[in-house]
Amino acid sequence: MDVLKKVPVREQEPKVRATNFEEVCLGYNAEEAMAEAERCLNCKNAQCVKGCPVSINIPEFIHEVKEGNFDKAYDVISESSALPAVCGRVCPQESQCEGKCIRGIKGEPVSIGKLERFVADTACANGRKPQPASEKKGKKVAIIGSGPAGLTCAGDLAKLGYDVTIFEALHQAGGVLVYGIPEFRLPKERVVAKEIENVKSLGVKIETNVVIGKSITIDELMEEEGFDAVFIGSGAGLPRFMGIPGENANGVFSANEYLTRSNLMKAFDSSSATPIMHAKKVVVVGGGNVAMDAARTALRLGAETHIVYRRSEEELPARAEEVHHAKEEGIIFDLLRNPVEILHDENDWVTGIRLIKMELGEPDESGRRSPVEVAGSEYDIEADCVIMALGTSPNPLIASTTKGLDTNKRRCIVAEEEFGQTSKEGVFAGGDAVTGAATVILAMGAGKAAAKGIDNYLSNK
Partner 1 sequence: MYTILKAEELTANIFLMVVKAPRVAKSCLPGQFVIVRTDEESERIPLTICDYDREEGTITIVFQVVGAGTLLMSKLKKGDAFHDFVGPLGKPSELITDDIEITKKKRIVFIAGGVGTAPVYPQVKWLKEHGINADVIVGAKSKDILILEKEMEAVAGNLYVTTDDGSYGRSGMVTKCLQDLVDEGKQYDVCVAIGPMIMMKFVCKLTKELNLPTVVSMNPIMVDGTGMCGACRLSVGDKIKFACVDGPEFDGHLINFDEAMKRQAIYKTAEGEAYLAAKEGKTHHGGCANC
Residue 316 near residue 292 (C-beta atoms within 8 A): no
Residue 373 near residue 218 (C-beta atoms within 8 A): no
Residue number with CB closer to partner 1 (69 or 217): 217
In this chain, which of 24, 119, 169, 413 binds partner 1, going by CB under 8 A? 169
Phi–psi pair at 242, nearest 5 degrees? -90, -25
In this chain, which of 274, 377, 408, 459 binds partner 1, going by CB under 8 A? 274
Q: Which residues pair with 309 in a beta bridge?
A: 335
Sign of the alpha-carbon dihedral angle for 38, 39, 44, 48: negative
Query: How far is 310 from 295, CA to CA, in rounded Å?
Result: 16
Q: Which stretch binds partner 1 (CB under 8 A): 28-36, 60-68, 235-243, 330-338?
A: 235-243
- Beta carbon of residue 393, minimum distance to partner 1 (angstroms, whole number): 10
Is residue 215 a contact residue for partner 1 (CB under 8 A)?
yes
Is residue 216 a contact residue for partner 1 (CB under 8 A)?
yes
x/- binding map, residues 111-150, to partner 1, per CB under 8 A?
Answer: ----------------------------------------
Q: What pairing do the DSSP bridges indicate for beta strands 369-373 and 337-344?
A: unpaired
Query: How far is 174 from 332, CA to CA, in rounded Å?
Result: 31
- Beta carbon of residue 422, minimum distance to partner 1 (angstroms, whole number): 21
Query: How far is 116 from 438, CA to CA, in rounded Å?
Result: 21
Q: How long a stretch of residues is the chain?
A: 461
- Beta carbon of residue 81, minimum distance to partner 1 (angstroms, whole number): 26
Which of 291, 362, 278 has its CA nearest to residue 323? 291
Residue 354 near residue 338 (C-beta atoms within 8 A): no
Query: How far is 303 from 242, CA to CA, in rounded Å?
Result: 23
- Beta carbon of residue 338, minimum distance to partner 1 (angstroms, whole number): 19
CA dihedral (239, 245, 247, 248) in degrees, to 10, reads 120
In this chain, which of 35, 133, 193, 397 binds partner 1, going by CB under 8 A? 397
Is residue 256 a contact residue for partner 1 (CB under 8 A)?
yes
Which of 360, 358, 362, 364 has its CA nearest to residue 336? 358
Q: Identify the H or E element spanning 441.
A: helix 440-459
In this chain, which of 43, 102, 133, 170 binds partner 1, going by CB under 8 A? 170
x/- binding map, residues 195-214, to partner 1, per CB under 8 A?
Answer: -------------xxxx--x
Is residue 445 a contact residue for partner 1 (CB under 8 A)?
no
In this chain, which of 120, 142, 166, 277 binds partner 1, going by CB under 8 A? 277
Residue number with CB closer to partner 1 (25 or 212): 212
Is residue 177 a contact residue for partner 1 (CB under 8 A)?
no
Query: How far is 294 from 311, CA to CA, in rounded Å?
Result: 19
Residue 82 near residue 151 (C-beta atoms within 8 A): yes
Number of residues that bind partner 1 (CB under 8 A): 36
Q: Which residues pair with 393 in a beta bridge?
A: 238
Residue 195 near residue 86 (C-beta atoms within 8 A): yes
DSSP 136-205: ----EEEEE--SHHHHHHHHHHHHTT-EEEEE-SSSSS-THHHHTS-TTTS-IIIIIHHHHHHHHHTT-E
Is residue 345 a contact residue for partner 1 (CB under 8 A)?
no
Residue number with CB closer to partner 1 (96 or 256): 256
- Beta carbon of residue 73, minimum distance to partner 1 (angstroms, whole number): 35
Residue number with CB closer to partner 1 (248 or 459): 248
Is residue 248 a contact residue for partner 1 (CB under 8 A)?
yes
x/- binding map, residues 353-392, to partner 1, per CB under 8 A?
Answer: ----------------------------------------
In this chain, which of 45, 134, 347, 460 binds partner 1, going by CB under 8 A? 347
Residues making contact with partner 1 (CB under 8 A): 169-171, 179, 208-211, 214-216, 237-239, 241, 243, 247-248, 250-251, 253-254, 256-257, 260-261, 265, 272-275, 277, 347-348, 395, 397
